[in-house]
Structure 1
């Protein structure tokens, strides 16, 4: 058995070097390759399958029947070989026939071989073949042997591509350049933009994979690391976001990866195996992509994306191919296209020319999304195959609000887009004109409109929208973008900055809502993954268990609010005792700080979030102890309907204007009012005009919504007759119509309520 993956791979690569340099046919080279690999791994079979015409064809083998070469063919996903290619993952089996995807091919004569190991041959991020070994005796190949096979497969990809043995991209797969196309994606950062398509970077082609001098390759990598770190430090120092915010912490996390010794060590190990500097970086990058496919945790996946972003940068430096669109400079209004993008890469672009970003990947929690939002750049993500469907220089009309991008639009499409853009700008201007006007109904009822926030810069929305305050400040954002647990002083600084920026307007801080589907890599639960994380060990449940975490946050909030009113709210309270325990923890920290002569808040107001339906049955116990109550309609609705809000198949069951939702909420209004407790809705429901109208109709007069929704909701409120609405909506709920949404929309139209 090989002593190490590097030694095993190096032994094979040294022998392969001469084979690849020889002036023989590609087939002759492959025949020699399978012999070398079979001998080095002590395997009785070594075979190479290559992708031709969309099918995996046996191209070379040692140990199987030679008559099967160019005869045995497997579709993607068929058999063990097809499974490896389709999933781009290795397989290592001591008994091949026991695998559910095993497919026997009698012409190969492989029935006597039991063990099987195979790895994908990957080129340009797709599997173009499979390298596999087999053995008569049942045995699992050692991890170092699998690692060696993967390294060898990477070198094979170069040989195979140079010999033109694999499928190439056909021109037929690309739409005609002049054909207009509408492409859909995921809304990441809202907005509209027009510009020409610019590809972030050309694909780096690695010309040489086998090293002549490993020490020389190592020095090349060291020099590239030094240069990359200088670039990251320079960009971090030059980034401008006004008053700062969580995006700065994103860059700190990014810098942490740039200095990660584990990453540089893995690249060195790949060089030890006989790879060039470029090939070693690519080899480690392939491992990263494999790990990313195995990660269910979106936060950890985003960390891996950051690492891949740095690997791309390092690869460009070491290869001398630094020509990204950012370095070349944007010459006109541009829409940037990339598979994925790191935060530092986005910061390299000229903000005056960069009008939007389209990503093949991307997510709402990605670091680049946070930075783009701070920069005010619209981003559309999960746009599948966009780099194939769009050509450099194509005119693009990006409408993230609609979740679409038009490529090569017709004049009619352009005219429609420009009209929508103009209307959007006019509407924004009209909403801006409402900034100084109160959200008061036609008959004089004042509605409180607040905004939801989570970043330091979000506080600027108070002045931009004229909102009454921050009804929900999500403190977990600081935890989600940090590589380590934020220290109390850092938390305190953020909370103080937010309060300073808000001035006399109230800010309601929600204690950390982490856990469940918001797992932090530095705060793991040893009990394993949860099947239903939304209803799992998260929010207040987790915080009460980890008292140190909550104590640190309590002290940070109390000290930050010195001399001011502190509004603190506990998320996902299921029973009154949870609220009491959390409040007692805060009061104990308050007393501890008072004993030490620290400056304290002038008042602390305590509230709870009603997201768990069970809490509604205990309000008579809880309300006397509350100063305010906020309804989180996002979680509440999915719990009431047992309908996962992220599941598209259940979208129709997740309707905020269902009579059951409004009836449930209306039963809370009376008791809260009777106890003098402020009642607000702080979920997405309140940010939609028709839904907000219904909420006001059942007696809710406090809404906390996204900043972008303040203008439209204020316009709706100022067109309402509150007395008429609060009379008619309860009547509708008493005998619900078949389609309450349609009935409410008709009521709004009849009473000239502004809903657009």
Structure 2
């Protein structure tokens, strides 16, 4: 018998039970008998959540006296493990599992095999249904599928008969009324204020079991057509321009919308006897379970895109189309969602949408790419929002500090407004420096460049008046693509960037993927087993192994720069031979294109990122080979201090104004004196005023920083006398004070230099 047929047989009988006037306990007792008969199972048990514990509510095959007596905590025993992980277990020998616990009152000692699936209500586990046999065996997939479908119908029976406390099941906190500060992960920086708006009201599924399977199938087909039409329209009407990475995001999104496998799984669920809504929800539950098993954050983000589409399909097929976007925003809003798909964000009125807070979300999520292009601050990984924030609550979102204040006190709101106003004033003042060249007081021209990674970032070049792009991260195109970006797509991006930059220089860093920036279409055995991905098989190491990837990128960059100067920088160079090998790939492609009579760049300058401390020990060998050298302060700092910058416990532990890092940077600067090499800094260190001041004192004359930092650093440069700060830095590093940061703050205050 197929999974659909087994499930349909059970559902037909469950339908009769649910329609009967039997009391709730009687219905559950009959349900376990039906499942046991249909699956030929010796034991069937249902555990439900009550007062924070999983309680045995009904059983076929175990001692009836254990009903309402046997209880276990979430995470306790096999049943508790299923509820905690929201994951199916299928065991030939239950006792062999490390979480197995024997409960003598149940009389289960003679049973060996065990399978259990979670009962899920509104995305949260509210119980478990288990089967057991004397014979040790793993259950067939057909049996597990039937059990999972049955569990879904059970959730409706349980909620309709008030067998669980709904507030407890949903994890709701008592309604909060006072001020509250939430913390999370800053995904897109910025300040915003507005009123809480929940993105998506819960779609209520009124009927789980189908009266006519063919009618349900046609409803799903029509909903698919409508959903795909919506996605196509959205992709063609993106407000912020054509050709950006957001466009590639939507293409990947469309790929999911047209995925035949997804539609087939929904059809199979309908075959088992579910309505269209219940079938979509059934497949969505499976997707959520898979998401919990995925360690790769990039693949998890792609699964979030699929869940977003399932939510859209569910709203269409149910006719419950009322999202906050379709209803319209009536005032400035901070949007709240568990997660959000990129297409759903595009539906909102950008004049009213001021910020986004997500329960989940990550830096690589598609919605973050789109939000950044739209200029909307986003705070992610903020748990338990439903129980803490009410619709219409006032929210002050500070994504710079990774916090949000809900229902703020008047004094807090006034302070936030003052800070917001000062931020706007400063931005206006910095905007006036857009066309001002950054000369020091002593007349030295400092190059203030900006970092970029998206096509949309290039508009900032003119807005902030940067001298060029000191670091263009090419990997972003690879991270948002479902497949390896073709040469033509790469070529278009690089050409657009060069066109937008005009005569200003652009330094393209070759792709830095692998390690903690894994992509699903490009895996290696080494990267999958990396215990320390930041120091693993990534960047140039991976590119030299997968030389086909690097050859395609080299050709795209060379062709894009036809008739212009091309600056190429290789990341994570550890030894000079790696630089030589990477340069050789480019030179081979240059020779090939020359034979093909292609237009070539006027010149190519090759450079390296100094992020690996070992490279500093062979600068005498490397410098004659390179045209420029850029120090990546983010990775360099974590390698020098052996401190993972992604670890929150270490994030603030090591100061960039530590004598250790400053002495290291001074040694590199001195090694470049008198050499024909352009030395610069890439990274956040150069975008902070005190740190930038220290770098100027160490001899650095090129800084590449975030666009928002360009104005402040230009302002700083115009207040500095290089001879004065150079002497001060030499003195401090020769005999470091106990607190160099505090000493530098006193120094700038004495001279009236604004270094806030």
Whether these two folds match at TM > 0.5 is: yes
Report the secondary structure of 1:544's partner residue.
helix
**1:570 maps to what in 2?**
570
Alignment of 1:697-736 (within 5 A): 697-736=697-736
**2:189 maps to what in 1?**
190
How far apart, in 1, do the equivalents of 2:664 and 2:174 lie?
A: 51
Report the secondary structure of 2:195's partner residue.
strand
**2:58 maps to what in 1?**
60
Report the secondary structure of 1:267's partner residue.
helix
How far apart, in 2, do the equivalents of 1:76 and 1:727 lie?
A: 63
**1:23 maps to what in 2?**
21
- Segments of 5+ residues of structure 2 without an aligned counterpart are none
- Segments of 5+ residues of structure 1 without an aligned counterpart are none
**1:753 maps to what in 2?**
753
Q: 1:89 aligns with which of 69, 87, 90?
A: 87
Structure 1 contact 338–387 (Cα < 8 Å) conserved: no
Higher mean alpha-carbon deviation, 20-29 vs 56-65, is at 20-29
Report the secondary structure of 1:397's partner residue.
strand
**2:628 maps to what in 1?**
628
Structure 2 contact 183–403 (Cα < 8 Å) conserved: yes
Report the secondary structure of 2:127's partner residue.
strand
Displacement of 1:175 in angstroms is 4.9
How far apart, in 1, do the equivalents of 2:379 and 2:486 lie?
A: 34
Alignment of 1:71-220 (within 5 A): 71-169=69-167, 173-176=172-175, 178-220=177-219
Higher mean alpha-carbon deviation, 392-401 vs 43-52, is at 392-401
Displacement of 1:241 in angstroms is 0.9
How far apart, in 2, do the equivalents of 1:248 and 1:313 lie?
A: 20
How far apart, in 2, do the equivalents of 1:747 and 1:69 lie?
A: 75
Find runs of 4+ consecutive structure 1 residues off by over 3 angstroms: 170-178, 526-529
Report the secondary structure of 1:420's partner residue.
helix
**2:657 maps to what in 1?**
657
Q: How many residues align?
A: 754
User: TM-score, normalized by length of structure 2?
Assistant: 0.97
How far apart, in 2, do the equivalents of 1:703 and 1:273 lie?
A: 63
CA distance change for structure 1 residues 404 and 254 in 2, over 3 Å: closer, same or farther? same
Alignment of 1:217-366 (within 5 A): 217-242=216-241, 244-366=243-365
Structure 2 contact 176–388 (Cα < 8 Å) conserved: no
Displacement of 1:584 in angstroms is 0.8
**2:540 maps to what in 1?**
540
How far apart, in 2, do the equivalents of 1:137 and 1:659 lie?
A: 68
How far apart, in 2, do the equivalents of 1:408 and 1:652 lie?
A: 29
Report the secondary structure of 2:167's partner residue.
coil
Displacement of 1:55 in angstroms is 1.0
**In the alignment, does 2:551 pair up with 1:551?**
yes
Displacement of 1:740 in angstroms is 2.4
**For each residue in 1:708-740, what CA deviation from the matched residue of structure 2 results, as whole angstroms up to 9, or x when unmatched?**
111122222222221111111122112222322
How far apart, in 1, do the equivalents of 2:517 and 2:182 lie?
A: 30
Displacement of 1:142 in angstroms is 2.1
Displacement of 1:131 in angstroms is 0.5
Higher mean alpha-carbon deviation, 651-660 vs 73-82, is at 651-660
**For each residue in 1:439-494, what CA deviation from the matched residue of structure 2 results, as whole angstroms up to 9, or x when unmatched?**
22222222111100011111111111111100000111111111121111111111
Cα RMSD of the aligned pairs, angstroms, is 1.5
Displacement of 1:99 in angstroms is 2.0
CA distance change for structure 1 residues 214 and 526 in 2, over 3 Å: closer, same or farther? farther
**In the alignment, does 2:620 pair up with 1:617?**
no
How far apart, in 2, do the equivalents of 1:499 and 1:520 lie?
A: 26
Displacement of 1:649 in angstroms is 2.1
Report the secondary structure of 1:169's partner residue.
helix
Structure 1 contact 575–618 (Cα < 8 Å) conserved: yes
Displacement of 1:594 in angstroms is 1.0
How far apart, in 1, do the equivalents of 2:713 and 2:392 lie?
A: 39
Report the secondary structure of 1:112's partner residue.
coil
CA distance change for structure 1 residues 27 and 259 in 2, over 3 Å: closer, same or farther? same
**For each residue in 1:69-126, what CA deviation from the matched residue of structure 2 results, as whole angstroms up to 9, or x when unmatched?**
0111111111111111111111122222222222222211112212211111001110
Report the secondary structure of 1:110's partner residue.
coil
Displacement of 1:196 in angstroms is 1.5
Report the secondary structure of 1:605's partner residue.
strand
Displacement of 1:367 in angstroms is 0.8
Structure 2 contact 555–590 (Cα < 8 Å) conserved: yes
